[in-house]
Chains A and B, each alone.
Chain A
Amino acid sequence: MLGAYLPIIVLLVVAACFGLGSVVVSSLVGQKKLSPVKLQPYECGCEPVGSAQERFSIKFYLIAMLFILFDIECVFLYPWAVLFKRLGVFGLIEMGVFVVILFVGYIYVWKKGALEWE
């Protein structure tokens, strides 16, 4: 029974080792040229300290909206992928149609210039 969880444990161990390993190795081997900017906590390019009421650029919202839309479609891809072989050609065609419809949306977004950041 518990044997079924072995791969997950192995994955956890490998992931932990990789994460820890890369941090430790880079702190041992890497060069250190510290500057005030580099010492600040990493905040995805925003100023880490300042008013919490600060407004974000509207482009963040646009990207977030598009991300939600395209990301959520994975909900349908996962069950299909799990049963890929058993659904056969029919499943493949259906998913092809689904992806084509998504692609229409993608082309629209792209041509509208919503993916550009300037």
Chain B
Amino acid sequence: MVSLHSYLILSAILFSIGTIGVLTRRNAIVIFMCIEMMLNAVNLTFIALSKYLGNLDGQIFVFFVMTVAAAEAAVGLALMIAFFKNRESIDVEDLNLMKW
């Protein structure tokens, strides 16, 4: 039997890997994949807690997170394509027209 703690620790590790990925990667698509990883780490937390607490709210939450992540993916890809058309790149180093 895998305990709740193991799940929570696993999802915390996944979330941290995602966060570090977002902060260190340069390619917008890879950054977005890291964000998706963070969201899925949260999903894992929700499912584990839902099972542990014996109530379904967490699982319902996961449904919504999944749909929202899909909508974000679609919008994100569209924005990247629009950017790519004008700049021929999706490197975040090229997001540099505006700086203070």
Contact = CB atoms under 8 A, between A and B. Distances in A.
Contacts, number: 26
Contacts of A49: none
Contact of B74 (A68, A75, A76): A68
Interface residues of B, number: 10
B63 A61 contact: no
A58 interface: yes
A8 to B, nearest CB: 22
B10 interface: no
Contacts of B74: 65-66, 68-69
Contact of A75 (B66, B73, B78): B66
Contacts of B67: 72-73, 75-76
Interface in A41-100: 58, 61, 64-66, 68-69, 71-73, 75-76, 79
Given A65-B73, A68-B74, A69-B71, A58 B81 contact: yes
B63 A65 contact: no
Nearest to B76: A65
Contact of A69 (B63, B66, B70, B81): B70
Interface residues of A, number: 13
Contact of B73 (A58, A68, A73): A68
Nearest to A72: B70
A108 to B, nearest CB: 13
A70 to B, nearest CB: 9
Contacts of A66: 74
A64 B71 contact: no
A67 B67 CA distance: 12
Interface of B: 63, 66-67, 70-71, 73-74, 77-78, 81
14 contacts: A61-B77, A61-B81, A64-B77, A65-B78, A66-B74, A68-B70, A68-B74, A69-B74, A71-B70, A72-B66, A72-B67, A72-B70, A75-B66, A76-B67
Given A64-B77, A72-B66, A72-B67, 5 more contacts: A61-B77, A68-B73, A69-B71, A69-B74, A75-B67
